[in-house]
Structure 1
């Protein structure tokens, strides 16, 4: 696991090697700049790149509100009209044509449904109109994906594997020639797939074995290898395939292997696929192994440059994660609707069960989780549409949160409905099976939590490096030294004050904003303490990293819902007071959880308990199962 995380951090775009505290790399150096815009302005007056990520700055104990407050409103009137024209037919299609139970039973998308989706343009939502697509923004795309997620996650995976990751690399980094050649094809009937995972490389994408060697005449790469668990793998005509290629290291002159992305057509020859996998859920989504046997790939089909495949893959995955939050917010809507319909009709002990406090708490929590997830989906898509390039941690959080929240909401819906929810005809059984994969694919939640924590800590560590350098030449950096010294002294005597947030929210949410504001300084102190205590070995302290990540999730989600609810109150929406209640309830409990996580990180008692759990795990693994004997000793 540690090797996996180190690999990810060394090769992830915008993330450099973590070396704390003596050789701290400055992660800010590689952030790209974009044009100024309301939410995505990431270029300072001096022309240097700035990082406006809310989460990244949180790790320094700083409030950076520009990508969270106010809540994004990025669609112009024309875009709203276009979206409205697509929402109604999409809803109608899923209500009248698509049959999720039939798809699940067939273990493939019904042919009539598949043809209808192509006709709707559902497979090319973000392809520019010049190439045969709809040219939708991320926010428009999120709205349609939410409808798909509310109806059939298996169909959602078929669509997403095609456009969210399948040909997304061509859309993001393809050459003009590659776009002109392939985007019209993936918009008009030719399925696409994203081919990265191999038997020996799940989360450790850098360890793939598939190879591509340049032919003697320099005109082709010859690819050999295989991929597993590829969504659309048995259907795709056009694939983004990742393979090891020999590359000359410019610094050492030695030839080393680096991952390169290729656009591969099944028609090139040598591309075959296995039978569809038998799965727990998303059964109608085609999942298959794909094999490459001496496949000749023209050199012009290298995507994103030789040796840059890992960056291409991470760019694709980071760019598409918000779509998962959008889809699963739709799924949660469906689960809540089913549970509420049952609860308001079912009577027990002479009363409707929706009058019972235990049921009310379930429905309230389900509703809050849906609200948080939906709010993040449109927050992040809005940031992306405004030009932000620093949304990767927020997108990772949205994926983790959405996949876990949706599982909880579906499970609670089944619990509310009791035996009726457990029966197949309720539809919740299928949804629960479909949901389980979302915590695993496109980056497991376990790896993404570590990614969030370690990337944020690296950013915090670069600040400590600046301070270290300042002390080497104090006369030239007196301002920084005195600022830091005064900050630490104020903290020591207990006079520090949290960052002001009242001006960012509606006045009715000021008290909730004050609760959240207190988390910033305490979180920053906890991160600094951990960095100083563990140094570069922090990568091994995953019990601590997971709790810092969880605290990050709670702080970010609270800020997002306070922002959305504030906008609703300001605009006097009919749901504003309801949203206010959800934002207040969520923030109160979230900030209490943050306080608990930070206490655990600093507590010797809990650190000792982590050590005990580590030992328990080693004992079980050594015994290859449960260690203790049956109490009957028989």
Structure 2
């Protein structure tokens, strides 16, 4: 019989004295390509983000080569000990169909997850958790994503964002008080979104005013679409607070973060929302009516709420890629099981080229997503602070790739895929939210492009302008069998850097308003970064002689080849007069429809 308490006790015993490996490196501004060869301290001003540096037309290789291998032998043993019971739990205890139908998790499932330690994977052991690294966390989240995304949201809303602020910004006293509680059946929630502020976090209306005696902040306002909102006892809440500007002496409003307990009083919530998918996760409005929040529950300092929120979201995004890599693995298996058994016209349908292309593309998307998840988690475990753009890309890429893979799995299975009993219609409904929450993909694309452009404009592209550097090279970083793919990526990076320079010269600061162009720059970065992580992983597999290495080589070569074509298309679109004219026309079409409050043209029958 499956015993969750025993597994939990064993896991916590083995996880004692976990040592995080932190490898930090320096760079030389004169080198176009920098290799991962030394372990020395990082200068705070240097940015080792691969994506950030391609906006300069440079290859900063240290966070992408070699593919991260950050787990100690003890950490691997611990992870392996956890994988089997977690798999068994989702196969034998959790019922995703029941969860979806009843729109809640039953007590048996919730208790089993708590006993497994699934709600406290990264809480330090001495505070009641399992103390896992980001890489270990990613592997377990991948299993959850393969089985039930609704459960994944319940877990993620609790720890990936709910109490993550306490882990990242909490004082020793805050951690000692709250982390044992969130590890012991007290749910947490992240409360940011409001009716009038979705992606614009700075426009929130919830307010917190210091009480006359200076002992409390009085919190008033409401939040919507809060995952775990009806369950949470402990919440990270964001509110406007008055703050005196030290330079001008004027009082201005700035967002601050607070740790709020339901037990403070004045905290209520609405009924669970009726949703398209992830139905078993609790989503509700939360209301704050004159809630007295002790001053010691200010999180991250007065006026630093935006920084706290963005760091929480950036820190947790790799987990979404890990979960969705698991979802894609499960969808692909269902499709392949069907395709290898189904016969049409006297042949198994997996022998048809149309089906083979679908399966191959599904496999490539899963491989890229999985590679991104473990690349970023490995970077984080190595001590990197420069992964925010990569994490944003992984969230966008994973959520769109998973939707495509699930859709193609349904298509391969035909009418059977459309049936509820197959389970894919539930997965598709669950997947749709991932392109929206924790930063919509549209906003994150702009974030990636604008962050790169703004910082690049500040640097004035010194290296390229004074002619101190040659075109980028990657050949020496990859396995010899992948040098051709590496050359393609290096050429894309060089072209990308030149396009960025052209765009900045042409538009200057007005580029902020050119979202047609920004989206295409972002898409090019997605293809370049996805190619690099794929080549890196396949190179490592080839060097280690893994049995799957020849297959991984095919995945990397094919993906990089097609991605290179997409990069060229996006960059050419940006500089093409005809395409720029199309952007202008699309803007006008959109305005016409908005003015008409719907489709403009009349029905062809004119009635």
Pick from 139, 143, 148 the counterpart of residue 144 of structure 2.
148
Give the superposition deviation at 1:500.
Answer: 1.6
The question of whether the paired residues in 1 share the 8 Å contact of 2:57 and 2:472 is answered with no
The question of whether the paired residues in 2 share the 8 Å contact of 1:41 and 1:387 is answered with no
Distance 2:348 2:248 in 1: 74
Residues 1:249 and 2:219 are matched in the alignment: no
Pick from 296, 302, 305 the counterpart of residue 306 of structure 1.
302
Distance 1:216 1:40 in 2: 55
The question of whether the paired residues in 2 share the 8 Å contact of 1:44 and 1:50 is answered with no
Partner in structure 2 of residue 470 of structure 1 = none
Give the superposition deviation at 1:533.
Answer: 0.7
Partner in structure 2 of residue 558 of structure 1 = 531
| Residues 1:434 and 1:41: Cα distance change in structure 2 (over 3 Å) | farther
Distance 2:116 2:157 in 1: 17
The question of whether the paired residues in 2 share the 8 Å contact of 1:37 and 1:386 is answered with no
Give the superposition deviation at 1:48.
Answer: 5.0
Provide Cα deviations, 1:40-68, integer angstroms capped at 9, x if missing partner.
99998794531110000000000111000
| Residues 1:116 and 1:41: Cα distance change in structure 2 (over 3 Å) | farther
Partner in structure 2 of residue 266 of structure 1 = 262
Give the superposition deviation at 1:458.
Answer: 1.3
Aligned partner of residue 199 in structure 2, secondary structure? coil
Comparing both chains, which one has the higher relative contact order based on Cα–Cα distances under 8 Å and sequence gaps of 6 or more?
1
| Residues 1:41 and 1:224: Cα distance change in structure 2 (over 3 Å) | farther
| Residues 1:75 and 1:436: Cα distance change in structure 2 (over 3 Å) | same
Aligned partner of residue 561 in structure 2, secondary structure? helix
- Between 550-559 and 511-520, report the one with greater CA deviation: 511-520
The question of whether the paired residues in 2 share the 8 Å contact of 1:498 and 1:520 is answered with no
The question of whether the paired residues in 2 share the 8 Å contact of 1:145 and 1:323 is answered with yes
Aligned partner of residue 630 in structure 1, secondary structure? coil
Pick from 314, 322, 331 the counterpart of residue 327 of structure 2.
331
Partner in structure 1 of residue 315 of structure 2 = 319
Distance 1:67 1:184 in 2: 34
Distance 2:586 2:373 in 1: 35
Give the superposition deviation at 1:316.
Answer: 0.1
The question of whether the paired residues in 2 share the 8 Å contact of 1:43 and 1:50 is answered with no
Partner in structure 1 of residue 465 of structure 2 = 484
Distance 1:181 1:536 in 2: 47
Partner in structure 1 of residue 32 of structure 2 = none
Give the superposition deviation at 1:251.
Answer: 1.1
Partner in structure 1 of residue 563 of structure 2 = 590
Partner in structure 1 of residue 547 of structure 2 = 574
Distance 1:45 1:538 in 2: 36
Provide Cα deviations, 1:174-233, integer angstroms capped at 9, x if missing partner.
000000000000000100000000000000000000001000000000001000000000
RMSD between aligned residues: 1.6
Partner in structure 2 of residue 36 of structure 1 = 24
Partner in structure 2 of residue 417 of structure 1 = 413
The question of whether the paired residues in 2 share the 8 Å contact of 1:270 and 1:292 is answered with yes
Provide Cα deviations, 1:74-101, integer angstroms capped at 9, x if missing partner.
0000100111111110000000000000
Distance 2:39 2:536 in 1: 24
Residues 1:369 and 2:365 are matched in the alignment: yes
Distance 1:551 1:75 in 2: 32
Distance 2:341 2:525 in 1: 39
Pick from 496, 502, 507 the counterpart of residue 534 of structure 1.
507
Residues 1:182 and 2:178 are matched in the alignment: yes
Partner in structure 2 of residue 520 of structure 1 = 493
Partner in structure 1 of residue 389 of structure 2 = 393
Runs of 4+ residues over 2 Å off in structure 1: 34-49, 483-487
- Between 46-55 and 36-45, report the one with greater CA deviation: 36-45
The question of whether the paired residues in 2 share the 8 Å contact of 1:190 and 1:236 is answered with yes
| Residues 1:589 and 1:211: Cα distance change in structure 2 (over 3 Å) | same
Structure 1, unaligned stretches of length 5 or more?
A: 1-33, 468-479, 488-495
Structure 2, unaligned stretches of length 5 or more?
A: 1-21, 27-34
Aligned residues: 578
